[in-house]
Structure 1
Amino acid sequence: MRLSKLYGKMCLAPLFLGIITVSSTVLGQPPQPKVGGVGTFDGGGANDNPGRRRLTTLTPVPEDFSALQLAPGFLISMEVYDAPELSTDARIDTHGDITLPMIGPVHVAGQTMTEAATAIETRLKDGKILNNPQVNLNISQYAGSNVSVLGEVHNPGRIELLAPHSLEDIIALAGGETELAGNTIEIRHPEGLTPQKQMIHYSRDPDDMTLVDTKIHPGDTVTVRRAGVVYVLGGVTRPGGYVMQEGGELNLTQALALAYGTTLNAAVSSMRLIRKLPDGRVQETPLPYRDIEKGKIPPPRLQAEDLIYVPISKSKTVLTSGIFASTSQAALYVYH
């Protein structure tokens, strides 16, 4: 008799367990997760439990987010461990402060999130609100700041910037320099900063670290200036203006080489350099081209807007025109 009663209880146990499981499901209580079951990441199998909490997808953050400094307009989300009544969202006002419950205003502008969290923890501890506060800050919204890049770059415009970057990175984000870019870059800082205007001179030498060492801050304006132009006129094969592309430096022989050299009727002994002085006056300097050509003296370095004038010799013109005329007649004679 005892054995039959025990057997009956054993048969009814699975039924009661099934009822309890169904009841817990109906009441909205999720079953306990199974070891080795389907994970909770997005993109799981089709048999995932919809009641199970799923992790959100990863979203990219700007590369300069780690060096971000808080600024007015940012919306800060604060969580205090084991004190949910102190957790709140606060926006940084125009003075750079956030107002927190039981603490009051805390100045956080110009600080990183770690520094701001430390300052809030110190206020909580000094105010005897919490003995060992642990504050976690996150940025819900940030006030984007831009850098304007103008001048000789492939993609001029405004670049969104959260933290300081090197000048080399800013130029790269603007598509790089054009062929007409010089070796001078002007940087204008926002009002209130000193200096207001900064001029950067660099060379295209790979060992020159000027662009890397120069920092650009949000709100700055970067202007890549065009290289200077040197004009070569008169008795040259291709007269015109030539950009000083080689690091912004150009000498006399290089400028003549860009103009494809002098012509046969050029009076190179009367070559002159015409330069406009800062006070507006024009200075004319004779150039001893024969001595420069023989290597007796170095070629003079040119400046932007310099003009090299190579006069044309009348006697050489008559002589060369006669040679060309006889040559053309001979060519015609042989041709016929």
Structure 2
Amino acid sequence: MQMPKYLSGKSSLLLVICVIGLAGLRADAQELPSQRVGGSSSFDTPPGLSGNDNAAGHQRLTSLTVVPEDFASLKLAPGFLLGMQVYDVPELSADLRVDSNGDITVPMVGLLHVAGKTITEVQSEIALRLRTGKIINDPRVNLNIEQYAGQNISVLGEVHNPGHLELLAPRNLGDVLALVGGETQYAGNVIEIRRQVNGSPTQLQVHYNQSKDDDSLKSVMINPGDIITVRRAGIVYVLGGVNRPGGYVMQEGGSLNLEQAIALAYGTSMQAATGSIRVARKKPDGSIEEIPVAYKDITRGKVPPTVLQAEDVVYVPISKVKTALTSSLLTSTAGAALIFH
């Protein structure tokens, strides 16, 4: 196996020029989505489907309140309005608003902190206060939620209906993504979650695989106030002696190997020098390394395909000999066609 080497010579200079010219191809890659690996070609996608929000099927979500799966476990928060009734004591009936500190003021009881508690817990606490305060011997307290006060979460990026959801209680990430229509075909395998923890901003990255039955999203809980961003998949560029050069989205879990990338470009052309294929990869320090590829051994199953990274450039050189032979063959064929016409 040859080790990666730094760019040198004329061919390496051509690779550098290709890398510099990628700014224009990035725009093309957004407009022309690649097919999903193992799926049907998106070159046959109906006109109008592209990388922008509207064309990719994005519909802005206006408003949606997500109710908890179990109301008994719903935690109260500032803004909730509670209706209280005490059996046989109608004068104690009242509407109780949870203030910004998470407190309510209960008649004959006074201030009571309820934020983070369930309705059942608050009912029991009010009854205990009424009994220990010798106000009512056997109080039977009933609380109802008159108004909810959830906190918004934002779901952004590569989902079908990005926008805000009003979350009354924590939900798992898989459920939240389903509520906004799921990921688009451009979604990668990284989801970012930003939240406040003890007053400090914190960012969490979740890695998952869309191509498999990955239940990891169900183990990640989303809290009110979170900001979720589904990142776009990376792009790989296939240039030179292929039938459709351009930029291709790394889909199906965000992974793509060399053989798949060339297949997305409709394969190598007749003039391709398949024995000299290389991958140009940008290193963390900004330099570019050239990675030789044993493409013929890959196609014969002798070595595993090279795994590509986002922003890699696969360059398939053009063989001058093959180009000359192809031109000669085309000329001869055209001449014969004229003779027998």
Q: Please give the alpha-carbon distance, in whole angstroms, between the structure 2 residues aligned to 1:317 and 1:201.
A: 45
Deviation of 1:205 after TM superposition, in Å, equals 4.8
How far, CA to CA, are the matches of 1:188 and 1:310 in structure 2? 41
SS of equivalent to 1:189 = strand
Aligned partner of 2:209 in structure 1 is 203
**Aligned counterpart, 2:234:** 228
User: Any idea what the Cα deviations from partners look like across 1:55-98, whole Å, max 9, x if unmatched?
Assistant: xxxxxx94647143211111111111222232211211111111
In the alignment, structure 1 residue 302 sits paired with structure 2 residue 312: no
List per-residue Cα deviations over 1:109-138 (Å, max 9, x = no partner). 011211221222222233232332221111
Indicate whether 1:331 and 2:326 are aligned. Answer: no
1:103 lines up with 2:109 in the alignment? yes
Give the counterpart letter for 2:177 in structure 1.
Answer: I
In 2, Cα distance between the equivalents of 1:272 and 1:144?
Answer: 54
What SS class does the counterpart of residue 238 from structure 2 fall into? strand
Of the structure 1 ranges 84-93 and 186-195, higher mean CA displacement relative to structure 2 is found in: 186-195
Select the residue among 239, 259, 265 that pairs with 2:271.
265
- Secondary structure of the residue aligned to 1:114 is helix
Q: Does 1:178 align with 2:184?
A: yes
Q: How does 1:76-155 map to 2 (within 5 A)?
A: 76-155=82-161
**Which residue is equivalent to 2:280?**
274
Residue of structure 2 in register with 1:44 after alignment? none
Given that 2:235 and 2:250 are in contact with CA atoms closer than 8 Å, whether structure 1 keeps it comes out as yes
Aligned-partner Cα distance in 1 for 2:225–2:148 = 15
- The alignment partner of 2:112 has SS state of strand
3-state DSSP of counterpart to 1:231:
strand
CA distance in 2, matches of 1:247, 1:223: 16
Structural RMSD (CA)? 2.0
Alpha-carbon deviation of 1:103?
A: 1.5
Q: Secondary structure at the match of 1:327?
A: helix
Given that 1:65 and 1:163 are in contact with CA atoms closer than 8 Å, whether structure 2 keeps it comes out as: no
Amino acid across the alignment from 1:281: S
Q: Deviation at 1:139?
A: 1.5
Letter in 2 for 1:136: N
- In the alignment, the residues of structure 2 paired with residue 131 and residue 282 of structure 1 have an alpha-carbon distance, to the nearest angstrom, of 81
Distance 1:218 1:89, change over 3 A: same
Structure 1 unaligned segments of length 5 or more: list them: 1-60
Residue 231 of structure 1: how far off its partner (Å): 0.7
| Structure 2 residue identity aligned to 1:311 | P
1:231/1:241 contact within 8 Å kept: yes
**How far apart, CA to CA, are the structure 2 residues paired with 1:167 and 1:177?**
12
TM-superposition CA deviations, 1:126-167 (whole Å, max 9, x none): 323233222111122222322211111111111222122222
Distance 2:233 2:338 in 1: 48
TM-score by length of 1: 0.77
Partner of 1:158: 164
1-structure distance, mates of 2:82, 2:67: 17
Letter in 2 for 1:260: Y
Determine the structure 2 residue equivalent to 1:11. none
Q: 2:194, 2:227 within 8 Å by CA — same for their partners in 1? A: yes
Letter in 1 for 2:116: G
Distance 2:90 2:270 in 1: 91
SS of residue paired to 1:322: helix
Q: Which residue among 317, 324, 332 is the counterpart of 1:318?
A: 324
Structure 2, unmatched stretches of 5+, are: 1-65
What letter matches 2:338 in structure 1? L
Rounded Cα–Cα distance in structure 2 between residues aligned with 1:238 and 1:215 = 43
Aligned-residue identity in percent: 60
Using the alignment, how far apart are the partners of 2:273 and 2:263 within structure 1? Answer: 17
1:77, 1:137 within 8 Å by CA — same for their partners in 2? yes
**Shift in Å at residue 274 of structure 1?**
0.7
Structure 2 Cα separation of the partners of residues 282 and 193 of structure 1 = 41
- What residue in structure 2 maps to residue 8 of structure 1? none
Structure 2 residue 252 is the aligned partner of structure 1 residue 240: no
Choose which of 216, 219, 224 in structure 2 pairs with 1:218: 224
Higher Rg of the two aligned structures = 1
Amino acid at match of 2:223: H
2:165 & 2:311 partners in 1: Cα distance?
Answer: 33
- Quick check: 1:255 aligned with 2:261? yes
Inter-CA distance 63–97: structure 2 relative to 1 (3 Å threshold): closer
Q: After TM superposition, give the deviation of residue 191 of structure 1 in Å.
A: 5.7
Q: Specify the SS of the correspondent of 2:275.
A: helix
Q: Aligned partner of 2:195: which letter?
A: H
Give, in angstroms, the shift of residue 238 of structure 1: 0.8
Contact 1:65 1:162 survives alignment (8 Å):
no
Q: Name which of structure 1's ranges 163-172 and 124-133 shifts more when overlaid on structure 2.
A: 124-133
